[in-house]
Chain A
Amino acid sequence: MKKTALFGAIALALSVAASAKEWKEVRVAIDATYKPFTYKTPDGKPTGFDVDIANALCAEMKAKCVFVEQAWDGMIPGLNAKKYDAIISSMSITEDRKKAVDFTGKYYNTPSRIVVKLGTIKNVPAELKGKKIGVLKGSTQEKYAKGELEASGAVIVPYEAQDQVYLDIKSGRLDGTVADSVEVYEGFLKTADGKGWGFVGPILNDKKYFGEGAGIAIRKSDTDLRDALNKGIKNIRANGTWKKINDKYFNFEVWGG
């Protein structure tokens, strides 16, 4: 009888300890190939809009952010394998992903666009027939390209990282890409390699593919972390920190509709 009571007390103590877990340290996964949202400074430090948002949210929670690098196609399995606690790396909130993980509300929302060499293609997707379109493996843009562009004859080539897409555009192996409009502008179109390339077709924000903006992914069991991060997003939006980070990278607001 005594023993049962003791075990009961221990179990109770453990469960209390578990539920009241203080997030002193949040391990944040990033894919640092996504300028200007997530990239690295020349000396190898993670930086960008996502990273600054992550640091601001950790500051709100009085916790420390530890950044973990992860290739894009393994992001969600890695989260569920507890290699890190949150993904703050421009991940769109989609129905498919919600089956595997939980999301906070969005912290920004920018549309995607198709990018091709200017003057070569005017009507999308009809003129994309036979063209090679590079996309990031496991991205919303890949799902869109396979769902909408492949039917009109475009060849969709999935890459491990978005910067490899730009390498193969530069080398002439690809005829275009589908990417986040801001990322592709800052990471490619604005650079010397992107000269002569530009957007074609309409703004892409079909909820079926692109979801409702970029959110923070967390494990379904970590509801306390989700609530803390949601509170953090609300706070940094209210106290001007979000705006400050926004203005550091963009001359327009990426909060979106």
Chain B
Amino acid sequence: MQFEVIFEPATLKLFGQGILVSLKLLFISVTIGAVLSIPMAIMRVSRNKWLSTPVWLYTYVMRGTPMLIQVYLIYYGVAQLEFVQSNWDTVPLLIPFKDALFCCVLAFTLNTCAYTTEMLAGAIRDTNHGEIEAARAMGMSRRQLMWRIVLPSALRRTLPAYSNEVIMMLHGTSLASTVPALMDITGAARSVYSDFYLPFEAFITAGAIYLVLTFTLVWCFKLAERRWLAYLQPRKA
């Protein structure tokens, strides 16, 4: 064991930057994914086939393929298209594809958005019928019903499942290390591994960092659940 290598300033800096990259990837993709998932979940449960089918197809494809494949397709795949190569210095929509961080965020966002959409759609379908009847009896329109009753309740009830999704995404960001220009926590560990030939020390450090981050996230979600799901908790004696 040569853990002193891990505690050298240069290595610590590498891991420190890795943590920032991982958190940045997680934060951006989870935020955009969550925001987009709300309208998509509403479309998903819509009775209108023209609204629900495209969303169904999207979540079906994204949930049916590994995230690694999605990262590869977006980073390496898109970049090999002649059309993209000849246009991505000029066409505004294509310029970001040159950037490794953008490709990763795009893949992660598309992925997490699909899962979140399905979770939220499930919670919307699961809304207690009594609540809906009561709202109808109050004379609420369908829009009011969705906005005032169904969505707030569904968002709360999704929280426990969603905390798992965020944790899975944190672990999923390790796939960013397969994109060359990105040095996330796993990337930092791989770099230590190839420079000092110390697989055990490098990966145990990365594992410990992920563990601490995961527990911090779990703790945050616990607080959130206590705040927003209090009405579903068993009553204290």
Contacts and interface: CB of A to CB of B under 8 A. Distances in A.
Contacts of B79: 167-168, 171-173
Contacts of A173: 79, 98, 100
Interface in A146-183: 157-160, 164, 167-168, 170-173
Contacts of A137: 190-191, 194
Interface stretch (A69-77, A204-212, A226-234): A69-77
Contact of A172 (B85, B194, B195): B85
A117 to B, nearest CB: 14
Nearest to B177: A160
A171 B80 contact: yes
A167 B72 CA distance: 13
Contact of B195 (A74, A81, A138, A170): A138
Contacts of B80: 167, 170-171
A10 B18 CA distance: 53
Contacts of A74: 193-194, 199
Contacts of A158: 180, 191
Contacts of B191: 137, 158
A77 B85 CA distance: 37
A73 B193 contact: yes
Interface residues of A, number: 23
Contacts of A76: 197
B147 interface: no
A134 interface: yes
B76 interface: yes
A170 B76 CA distance: 11
A211 to B, nearest CB: 15
- Max chain A Cβ within 10 angstroms of own Cβ: one of B85, B89, B195: B195
A72 B88 CA distance: 31
Contact of B199 (A77, A159, A164, A167): A77
B178 interface: yes
Contact of A160 (B180, B193, B195): B180
Given A157-B181, A171-B79, A172-B88, A73 B190 contact: yes
B180 A164 contact: yes
13 contacts: A73-B194, A74-B194, A138-B195, A157-B180, A158-B191, A159-B180, A164-B76, A167-B80, A170-B80, A170-B85, A171-B85, A172-B79, A173-B98
Given A171-B84, A173-B100, 4 more contacts: A72-B194, A73-B190, A74-B194, A81-B199
Q: Which 4 A-B pairs have the closest CB atoms?
A: A138-B194, A73-B194, A171-B79, A100-B197
